[in-house]
Amino acid sequence: MSTVANINDDTKETRARSLWQDAVKHFVRDRLTLIAFIVLVLMTLACYLAPPVLEDLLDVDATRTNTPASFTAPGVDRHVLGTDHLGRDQLIRLLYGGRVSLAVAYTSSIMIIFIGVSLGLLAGFYGGLVDDTITWLVNTLSSVPSTLLYIVIAAIWQPPVEWMIIILALLGWVGTSRLVRAEVLSIKEREYVLAARALGASDFRLLVSHIFPNLMSIVIVTGSIIAGNLILVEAGLSYLGVGVQPPTPTWGNMLTDSRTYFVQGVHLVIWPGIMILITVMCFYLVGDGLRDALDPHQSRHSKA
Amino acid sequence: MSKFILRRLLIAIPTLFAISFVVFAILELSPVDPLGNLPLTITPEEREKIREAMGANAPFHVKYAKWVVQFVINEPLNILEQVTGIKIGDSEGRLRYISYQTRSPIVDLVIQRLPQTLWVVGTAYLLSVLIAVPIGVLSAYKPYSIFDQVGTFFAIVGYSLPTFFTGLLFIIIFSVNLKWFPSVYDTTHRVTDMQSLLVQLRQIFMPTLVLALYFTAQISRFTRSSMLEHLNQDYIRTARSKGISERAVIMRHALRNSLIPVVTLVALGIPAIFQGAIITEQIFRVNGLGQLLILAIQGGDLPTVQALTFIFAVLIVIFNIVADVLYALLDPRVRLS
């Protein structure tokens, strides 16, 4: 008798947990992903909140140049990570640089997801002429050498950061929309969608409450990986001197300067590089971990 | 099959026209002054004349039409003449597509620069495919083993490391401290014998390694997931239960099937590696196509930028078709649809 009751309890408990609760549980159990996520949160908080406090605390400044104190080694004289060729404190500059890089990554990836998902949904759901038009646009855009076009556009117009974010988004949504379209094509043939349609659900209702929720997992996963990739793209553009312009620091243009001065201070190469590495890696790990957490079919893989 | 290829080629034509128009329009609308680098002592009247002579003043549609004619008809004809030696029509009077900066035909510039880029990019890509595929296969064969974990770790690090950071690190470690490899690429170097080949290999070593690290990370991950997918399928279990040796199961059954998507990925990745080489060329001062592009942008040399962007677009379109055709050739199921 008692065993039967136990079984019933178990089933009750599993039934009560939604996909999201499952995902959160999986996420917390997955140490690496959790650590990556915490690092990202801390990094973001540090970049946005820490600079004013640190400036007061250590009496350093991101823009004030002080040539006699250039190439100070890390840890010497209040400069935790040393100073650059103009004597500016590197730690503060890294944090300010992080603001720009993270702002580009977050906003641009959200825009990419928004454009990609909307167009992918429309193309996959309606088919016909809508699909043909969007697919043609996607195919044409994906034949455009995007990295090269970023460089050309950025070099010629030297857009401010806000415009750079928009341009990156306009050139970057193609992959997401392709992914979403393929997913929608398979979801809309499933029984529960057909059933809802047979019950007289409107297109809008089908899209919003039956198809879109099933896209959430790929949306979150690709969003995270795209954000990491955008950090690399922004850093690359700034490294080439066509992205964010000095004196505004970013991790990319800090490395450009260090190409000339690494003999005097290796720390000028190492720290911006490590910041990029850690951030991109964390975005990737979070995306990868979320894939496992949100996909009930794949969860056995991670346990094997 | 040939019908399939022909259809793909025909579809590519409007795409290429659309791209060429967009590329052309973006650059024509740009505020860049091609005379910006000339001395200030030149009077405005003379500047106007120079602009006239360059053809920079012509209206948009005239420029675009000239550009299309030069790019689609004249330059391919020139290359054909050079290769075969046959003269077709008035080859002396044919308009060529000319750089603002150097006043030489852009196609010639590209041909001068191509070998350096190909050396670096080609070796890097070949190397990374050769390293990545075995790593991916071994990782998938024993998933979550120590080998796989280490492979995964390096793949994630390789993916997250920007090439301009690894490049700088390599220069600091191998050129400055250990003095093993030169940090600047010497284009005048000619490969004539064993000795000079060694020198060439030494100078492409670092740029190649930097690029290869990045590609290896991607290709090995892709190979692993493709192989994993196939190893779990029924036909592999059937093959095993027939009593075939494990080696044959892997090499003949699983590997062949899982390499199909890898081959397409490798083909699709070729245009991307040229773009990736822009930054690497900048770090190691390789005067390849990437450097040509950066110089052209800095000098306001719009025709060169247009030509290079369009050449890259053509590369992407061609390799998309190559990937599709390879896929159809390797996987008979695709041809049915």
The single-letter code of the amino acid at B32 is V
Average pLDDT, chain B: 82
Q: Could you say which of B18, B159, B164 has the minimum Cβ distance to residue A140?
A: B18
Nearest to B208 by CA among B286, B311, B315: B286
Task: Return the minimum-mean-pLDDT range out of A90-104, B15-29, B217-231.
Answer: B15-29
Does residue A304 belong to any structural domain of this protein? no
In terms of C-beta density within 10 A (0-12 exposed, 13-18 middle, 19 or more buried), how is residue A196 classed?
middle
Does residue A301 belong to any structural domain of this protein? no
Q: What angle, 0 to 180 degrees and rounded to 10, lies between the N-to-C axes of helices A146-157 and B302-330?
A: 160
Task: Please check whether residue B313 touches A, CB under 8 A.
Answer: yes
Does residue A225 belong to any structural domain of this protein? yes
**pLDDT at position A3 over 70:** no
Question: Which of B160, B222, B321 to probe by mutation at the A interface, max A CB count within 10 Å?
Answer: B160
Contacts of A157 in chain B (CB under 8 A): 30-31
**CA atoms of A145 and B317, how far apart (whole Å):** 10
Task: Please check whether residue A36 touches B, CB under 8 A.
Answer: no
Q: Could you say which of B19, B156, B282 has the minimum Cβ distance to residue A284?
A: B156
Contacts of B164 in chain A (CB under 8 A): 235-236, 239, 252, 255
**CA atoms of B37 and B57, how far apart (whole Å):** 18
Q: Which residues contact B261 (CB under 8 A, 6 or more apart)?
A: B222, B226
More confident residue, B188 or A212: A212
Specify the length of chain A in residues: 304
Task: Please check whether residue B160 touches A, CB under 8 A.
Answer: yes
Task: Please check whether residue A147 touches B, CB under 8 A.
Answer: yes
**Minimal CA separation from A140 to chain B, in Å:** 6
**CA atoms of B69 and A88, how far apart (whole Å):** 54
Q: Could you say which of A153, A239, A285 has the minimum Cβ distance to residue B164?
A: A239
**Contact predicate B236/B254, CB 8 Å:** yes
Domains located in chain B, CATH noted: 2-335 (1.10.3720.10)
Does residue A97 belong to any structural domain of this protein? yes
Which residue of chain B has the CA closest to A278? B160
**pLDDT at position A10 over 50:** no
* pLDDT for position B30: 75
More confident residue, B4 or A238: A238
Q: How far is CA B171 from CA B166, B181, B202, B216, B243, in A?
A: 9, 8, 13, 20, 53
**Contact predicate B19/B335, CB 8 Å:** no
Query: Mean pLDDT over residues B185-189, rounded?
Result: 75
Query: Mean pLDDT over residues B90-104, rounded?
Result: 72
**CA atoms of B161 and A274, how far apart (whole Å):** 9
Task: Please check whether residue B173 touches A, CB under 8 A.
Answer: no
String of DSSP letters for A17-46: --HHHHHHHHHHH-HHHHHHHHHHHHHHHH
Percent of chain B at pLDDT exceeding 90:
4
Confidence of residue A105 (pLDDT cuts 50, 70, 90): very high
Contacts of A233 in chain B (CB under 8 A): none
**CA atoms of A230 and A287, how far apart (whole Å):** 14
Contacts of A252 in chain B (CB under 8 A): 162, 164
**CA atoms of B306 and B304, how far apart (whole Å):** 5
A144, B22: Cβ pair inside 8 Å? yes
Nearest to B210 by CA among B279, B260, B156, B259: B279
Task: Please check whether residue B21 touches A, CB under 8 A.
Answer: no
**Contact predicate B258/B229, CB 8 Å:** yes
**CA atoms of A136 and A138, how far apart (whole Å):** 5
Q: What CATH number did the domain enclosing A136 receive? A: 1.10.3720.10
* pLDDT for position A17: 63
Which residue of chain A has the CA closest to B282? A240
Task: Please check whether residue B288 touches A, CB under 8 A.
Answer: no
A277, B30: Cβ pair inside 8 Å? no
Which residue of chain B has the CA closest to A147? B275
Task: Give the best-scoring range by mean pLDDT among A70-79, A289-298, B127-136.
Answer: B127-136
Question: Which of B33, B142, B145, B165 to probe by mutation at the A interface, max A CB count within 10 Å?
Answer: B165
Question: Which of A239, A242, A267 to probe by mutation at the B interface, max B CB count within 10 Å?
Answer: A239
Confidence of residue A112 (pLDDT cuts 50, 70, 90): very high
CA A85, distance to chain mean position in Å, is 31
Does residue A5 belong to any structural domain of this protein? no
Contacts of B278 in chain A (CB under 8 A): 147-148, 151, 240
Each residue of A45-103: pLDDT tens digit? Answer: 988 888 777 777 776 676 676 767 677 777 667 777 777 777 777 788 888 889 989 99
* pLDDT for position A2: 46
A156, B30: Cβ pair inside 8 Å? yes
Give residue for tokens 């640089």. A97
Q: How far is CA B152 from CA B126, B177, B224, B304, in A?
A: 21, 30, 10, 41
Each residue of B107-124: pLDDT tens digit? Answer: 888 888 888 888 888 888
Confidence of residue B89 (pLDDT cuts 50, 70, 90): low
Each residue of A120-175: pLDDT tens digit? Answer: 999 998 888 999 999 888 888 887 888 888 888 888 788 888 888 999 999 889 88
**Minimal CA separation from A8 to chain B, in Å:** 34
B297, A155: Cβ pair inside 8 Å? yes
Query: Mean pLDDT over residues A97-125, rounded?
Result: 92
**Minimal CA separation from B46 to chain A, in Å:** 25
ipTM for the complex shown: 0.81
Q: How many helices (H) and strands (E) does chain A have?
A: 14, 0
Task: Please check whether residue B140 touches A, CB under 8 A.
Answer: no
Average pLDDT, chain A: 81
**CA atoms of B268 and A118, how far apart (whole Å):** 26
Q: How far is CA B216 from CA A169, B144, B164, B268, in A?
A: 27, 19, 17, 15
Does residue A10 belong to any structural domain of this protein? no
Task: Please check whether residue B9 touches A, CB under 8 A.
Answer: no
**pLDDT at position B55 over 80:** no
A262, B172: Cβ pair inside 8 Å? yes
Each residue of B70-80: pLDDT tens digit? Answer: 777 777 777 77
**Contact predicate A256/A239, CB 8 Å:** yes
* pLDDT for position B91: 63
Provide the phi-psi class of B193: left if phi over 0, else alpha when psi is between -120 and 50, else beta.
beta
The single-letter code of the amino acid at B85 is G
Which residue of chain B has the CA closest to A141? B19
Each residue of B153-169: pLDDT tens digit? Answer: 888 888 888 888 888 88
**pLDDT at position A116 over 50:** yes
A242, B297: Cβ pair inside 8 Å? yes
**Minimal CA separation from A146 to chain B, in Å:** 9
A147, B30: Cβ pair inside 8 Å? no
B278, A240: Cβ pair inside 8 Å? yes
The single-letter code of the amino acid at B112 is Q
* pLDDT for position B92: 64
Q: Widest CA span of chain B, in angstroms?
A: 87
Domain that holds residue A195: 30-59+87-296
* pLDDT for position B287: 85
Confidence of residue A303 (pLDDT cuts 50, 70, 90): very low
**CA atoms of B266 and B215, how far apart (whole Å):** 10
In terms of C-beta density within 10 A (0-12 exposed, 13-18 middle, 19 or more buried), how is residue B120 classed?
buried
Task: Please check whether residue A140 touches B, CB under 8 A.
Answer: yes
Query: Mean pLDDT over residues B54-82, rounded?
Result: 77
**CA atoms of A222 and A253, how far apart (whole Å):** 27
Task: Please check whether residue A240 touches B, CB under 8 A.
Answer: yes
**pLDDT at position B194 over 70:** yes
Q: pTM here?
A: 0.83
* pLDDT for position A57: 73
A304, B143: Cβ pair inside 8 Å? yes
Task: Please check whether residue B32 touches A, CB under 8 A.
Answer: yes
Number of domains in chain A: 1
3-class SS at B278?
helix
The single-letter code of the amino acid at A2 is S
* pLDDT for position A15: 53
**pLDDT at position A304 over 80:** no
Does residue A193 belong to any structural domain of this protein? yes
**pLDDT at position A300 over 50:** no
**Contact predicate A72/A83, CB 8 Å:** yes
**CA atoms of B145 and B151, how far apart (whole Å):** 10
B/e letters for A272-283, b = 16+ CB within 10 Å, e = fewer, are bbebbbebbbbb
**CA atoms of A209 and A218, how far apart (whole Å):** 16
Task: Please check whether residue B255 touches A, CB under 8 A.
Answer: no
Q: Could you say which of B144, B283, B309 has the minimum Cβ distance to residue A149?
A: B309
* pLDDT for position A4: 47
A272, B161: Cβ pair inside 8 Å? no
**Contact predicate B305/B258, CB 8 Å:** no
Task: Please check whether residue A261 touches B, CB under 8 A.
Answer: no
Does residue A25 belong to any structural domain of this protein? no
Confidence of residue A1 (pLDDT cuts 50, 70, 90): very low
